[in-house]
Amino acid sequence: MNQISPISRKANTPDVAFLRKQAAELRGEVIGMSHKTGSAHLASCLSCIDILTAAYWHALNIDPAKPTDDGRDRFILSKGHAAMAIYATLAHRGYFPRDLLETYTKDGGKLAEHPPANMLPGIEAATGSLGHGLPIANGHALSAKVKDKGANYRVFALMSDGECNEGSVWEAAMFASAQKLANLCVIVDYNKWQATARSNETLQLSPLREKWESFGWDAYEIDGHDIGAVATALADVPNGSSKPVAFIANTVKGKGVSFMEDDNNWHYRAPTAEEVVKARQELGLS
């Protein structure tokens, strides 16, 4: 099979203006999808769009024309309820035609409200039940050692803070550090909300960075909406130590639309036509 040639990551400085524009377009796309279909989890999508953009348009070593190439970087959206965000990302990045987004939630289509197994190019794993992405990512990362000693691909798992409630996450975290999976990177979309309450009022996540660190990871806090910083951080994995890397990305649920930001009603709500117009204006979209 054709190998993707490894990009020289550190030499690349992110084109921040381009990434911001791309992120705004993706935000417009998911807002439209939610409006047209009445789909929930819009705020969960807006929270992680900057991270997805930084990954797919800068940090990841991928070729949309070769979605199963052995040498590709793997990206797993472990917070599967942000399905609209990954669908929009993959379509805009060229994994499948943008027209397919029109079929989201439609009878008999391929785009259900959580990412499917074995059906769409670029979807590495079916997610939607929280707490599954990181163990699967462990499997991808460990395969690079077991199968092919020279493999230098990296594995990224994007998780939500509520997801860190699950015990399976911490089982996986301890496995990864024990096995020195330095090619593995977790990004936690730390927007301080889960489905029905504030994250730290539900289970005590705080201090989250220190938790990951004490589980044997190189753990850093970053601003999850500083798209240039996220792009550089992800591109620089592995960081030279033998540890897996965790980025605790401070984010705002509903980011990018003033009347959605940090308002958890938008975990469930879909925008009206007028709200779509207002949101697009704020995003600088026509």
Ligand X SMILES: Cc1ncc(C[n+]2csc(CCOP(=O)(O)OP(=O)(O)O)c2C)c(N)n1
Nearest residue (CB) to another protein, 14 versus 131: 131
The answer to the question of residue 174 lying near another protein (CB under 8 A) is: no
Shortest Å, Cβ 144 to ligand X: 28
Nearest residue (CB) to ligand X, 97 versus 167: 167
* Cα 90 from Cα 72, distance rounded (Å): 15
Q: Which of 27, 74, 79, 255 binds ligand X (CB under 6 A)?
A: 79
Burial class (CB in 10 A: 0-12, 13-18, 19+), 220: middle
Q: Which of 121, 128, 167, 112 lies closest to 44, judged by CA?
A: 128
Residue 197 identity: A
Q: Taking CB under 6 A as the criterion, which residues in 240-259 touch ligand X?
A: 253
Q: Which of 138, 144, 109, 142 lies closest to 125, judged by CA?
A: 138
Number of neighbours of residue 101 by Cβ within 10 angstroms: 20
Letters for 181-200 (x = contact with another protein by CB under 8 A, - = none) are -------------xxxx---
Burial class (CB in 10 A: 0-12, 13-18, 19+), 37: middle
* Cα 163 from Cα 206, distance rounded (Å): 14
List the single partner that 116 binds among ligand X, another protein, none, CB under 5 to 8 Å by kind: another protein
* Cα 99 from Cα 171, distance rounded (Å): 40
Nearest residue (CB) to ligand X, 37 versus 239: 37
Residue 177 identity: S
List the single partner that 50 binds among ligand X, another protein, none, CB under 5 to 8 Å by kind: none
Shortest Å, Cβ 137 to another protein: 17
Q: How many helices (H) and strands (E) does the chain have?
A: 9, 5
Q: Taking CB under 8 A as the criterion, which residues in 202-261 touch another protein?
A: 202-203
Q: Which two tokens stand for residue 11?
A: 């030499």
Q: What share of the chain is helix, strand, coil (3-state, %, to 5)?
A: 45, 10, 45
List the single partner that 189 binds among ligand X, another protein, none, CB under 5 to 8 Å by kind: ligand X
Letters for 116-155 (x = contact with another protein by CB under 8 A, - = none) are xx-x------xxxxxx------------------------
Span interacting with ligand X, options 26-34, 52-60, 161-169, 241-249, rule CB under 6 A: 161-169
- Four-point Cα dihedral 196, 113, 43, 154, nearest 10: 110
Nearest residue (CB) to another protein, 82 versus 222: 82
Shortest Å, Cβ 93 to another protein: 21
* Cα 123 from Cα 201, distance rounded (Å): 33
Shortest Å, Cβ 104 to ligand X: 18
The answer to the question of residue 80 lying near another protein (CB under 8 A) is: yes
Shortest Å, Cβ 77 to another protein: 12
Number of neighbours of residue 224 by Cβ within 10 angstroms: 26
Which positions lie near another protein, rule CB under 8 A? 80, 103-117, 119, 126-131, 162-163, 165-167, 194-197, 202-203, 267-268
Which positions lie near ligand X, rule CB under 6 A? 44, 47, 79, 81, 128-131, 160-163, 189, 191, 193-195, 199, 253, 267
